[in-house]
Amino acid sequence: MRPLIAGNWKMNTLRADGSALVVGLIEQRAGEDPGCDILLCPPFVSLGLIGDIIAESPILLGAQDCHKEESGAYTGGISAPMLSDAGCGFVIVGHSERRAQYNETDFLVSEKARAAHENALVSIVCVGETLVDRDADNTLSVVEEQLLGSVPKGANAKNTVIAYEPVWAIGTGKTPKNIQIREVHDHLRMLLENNFADGNEFRILYGGSMNSANAGEILSIKNVNGGLVGGASLTVKDFWGICTSL
């Protein structure tokens, strides 16, 4: 399957930074197809701007979160239909920063993913253990509970991507050993196959301190079908380096 490399800009970039970044990536992509799909998830307020700039390029647009409801009295909320209307094809749900900072539960994440699917968006559902979980040898049971609780009925390989992001690896410069990544991705694949008819076709991304130096090795691990990249998605050199390391 064709890998997906997704850049999660988080709460970074003003309009000028985002435009410069995306123009640089378009230039690189025009000269070479690196053999993966490339997705950018800028802040909500930049979606229109970035969407306009990438309109004629193969680069894809996504958002970092959505509300579970379609519309209504939810001050500050952004709904899945709004994202679709703004040109997004993807939305990240259940990122560990949302789970930790906004108390998002597996059930809420599944509702957001359902709203995404109902509005023609591909959900990128994130799971991952904390260091406490890992040290207690609970990694597989934690990601299993998150996966089964966060991926809604009706999910399939076309409308859902899974991202495994160990919380302790995000933004820390630490990455799991290859064998640890492989163990979790194999477990997620088994769960997907046991629960969804096309479970062998879901893309399972790795995220957490991925950079152009470690991406080649991580992306060659079985059942790693791409990456979800935070810090290293904020410069053309680093992000393109990851895209071309397959």
The yes-or-no answer on residue 95 being catalytic is yes
Chosen residue from 229, 238, 240, 245 binding ligand PGA by CB under 6 A = 229
Spatial separation of the C-alpha atoms in residues 3 and 199, rounded to whole Å: 16
- Spatial CA neighbour of 95 closest among 185, 38, 173, 10: 10
Note whether 209 binds ligand PGA by CB under 6 A. Answer: yes
| Binding residues among 147-166 for ligand PGA as defined by CB under 6 A | 165
C-beta of 169: minimal distance to ligand PGA in Å?
6
Q: Which of 95, 117, 185, 187 is catalytic?
A: 95
Instruction: List the beta bridge partners of residue 227.
Output: 5, 206
Element (H, E) at 184: helix 178-195
Question: For this structure, is 165 an active site residue?
Answer: yes
Interface stretch with ligand PGA, choices 63-71, 80-88, 178-186, 204-212 (CB under 6 A) = 204-212
- Percent composition of the chain: helix, strand, coil (DSSP 3-state, to 5): 45, 15, 40
Among 166, 207, 223, 245, binds ligand PGA (CB under 6 A): 207
Q: Does 205 bind ligand PGA (CB under 6 A)?
A: no
Q: Is 171 in the site for ligand PGA (CB under 6 A)?
A: yes
Task: Note whether 152 and 188 are within 8 A (CB).
Answer: no
Catalytic choice (67, 165, 185, 187): 165
* Partners of residue 62 on adjacent β-strands: 90
Q: How far apart are CA 172 and CA 130, in angstroms?
A: 13
Cβ distance to ligand PGA smaller for residue 3 or 81:
3
Distance CA 170, CA 165 (A): 7
128 near ligand PGA, judged by CB under 6 A: no
How far is Cα 246 from Cα 168, in angstroms, rounded to an integer? 24
208 part of the interface to ligand PGA, by CB under 6 A: yes
Closer residue to ligand PGA, CB minimum distance, 92 or 151: 92
Tell me the backbone φ, ψ of residue 186, rounded to 5 degrees: -65, -40
Shortest Cβ 9–ligand PGA spacing (Å): 10
Residues contributing to the site for ligand PGA (CB under 6 A): 8, 165, 170-171, 207-210, 228-232
Active site residues: 95, 165
